[in-house]
Amino acid sequence: MTRAIALRAGSLTWLTLVWILLWGNLSVANVVGGLVVATLITVLLPLPRVPVEGRLHPWSLVKLTGLGLWYAAQSSAQVAWLAVKPGPPPVTGVLRVRLAIKSDLVLTLCVDLLNLIPGTMVLEVDQVKRMVYVHVLDVGTDKAVRQFHRSVRRLEALFIASFERESEWAPSPGYADDPAPSTRRES
């Protein structure tokens, strides 16, 4: 019960902060107005509960954050080079990758990180098969395709290490009723 109260308080605080930022100044009226709007939103338009499985491992999360920042910087430089280098434009394509991530929440976080990396954009996610279709800016060589797959595998491994290690995995209630988990470990 304490966790539910903390989550609700966090939601109210976050929505109130967004309200204040939208109005552009901190005043008593904006804080009160933000609290009223936040309360109305959370009562009248509640979000469904997000199932959370596994445990958070801070050190793995730090490594994941660092790797994500590195990939973003590296990809930004590659995209900038592709934009200014002489010659024909790069060969683009859609590549698919099957992920071993079990949690829908962690899969969403992984897809979000893939979208943040310049030169890539997730076009489709097959939730049941855990297949992700990604538009990649440069697939002109086998080396570039292998590099993309290697990058995704490293991200996947760190997401699993950060959020859903096998030894600590416990599906949330209702997850066992879903017929999809048996197909989620396909390789």
Q: Three-class SS of residue 54?
A: coil
Rg (C-alpha) for the chain, rounded Å, is: 21
Do both 74 and 97 map to the same domain? yes
Six token digits for residue 24: 């552009």
Residue 175 lies in domain: 58-183
Local structure of residue 179 (DSSP, 8 states): S
Percent of the chain with pLDDT over 90: 52
Asked whether the predicted pLDDT for residue 177 surpasses 50, the reply is: no
pLDDT tens digits, one per residue of 126-143: 999 999 999 998 898 999
Do both 97 and 26 map to the same domain? no
| Other CB atoms within 10 A of residue 2 CB | 6
Do both 99 and 127 map to the same domain? yes
Given a contact cutoff of 8 angstroms between Cβ atoms, the answer to whether 170 and 181 are in contact is: no
pLDDT band at 117 (very low <50, low <70, confident <90, very high): confident
Residue 125 confidence (pLDDT): 95
Do both 21 and 72 map to the same domain? no
Q: Three-class SS of residue 141?
A: coil
Domain count, the chain: 2
| More confident call, 112 vs 50 | 112
| More confident call, 167 vs 122 | 122
Local structure of residue 131 (DSSP, 8 states): E
Query: What is the average pLDDT across 98-104?
Result: 90
Whether the pTM exceeds 0.85: the reply is: no
pLDDT band at 103 (very low <50, low <70, confident <90, very high): confident
Which stretch of 122-136, 140-154, 162-176 has the lowest confidence by average pLDDT? 162-176
Q: Tell me the sheet residues that pair with 169.
A: none
pLDDT tens digits, one per residue of 41-94: 999 988 777 766 777 889 999 999 999 999 889 888 988 888 898 988 889 999
Residue 52 confidence (pLDDT): 67
**Residue 53 placed within a domain:** no
Dump strand ranges (E) for the chain.
Answer: 93-98, 120-126, 131-136
Do both 115 and 40 map to the same domain? no
Asked whether the predicted pLDDT for residue 181 surpasses 50, the reply is: no
Query: What is the average pLDDT across 176-187?
Result: 44
Q: Is 166 exposed, middle or buried (0-12, 13-18, 19+ CB in 10 A)?
A: exposed
- At 133, give phi and psi (nearest 5°): -105, 120
Do both 74 and 118 map to the same domain? yes
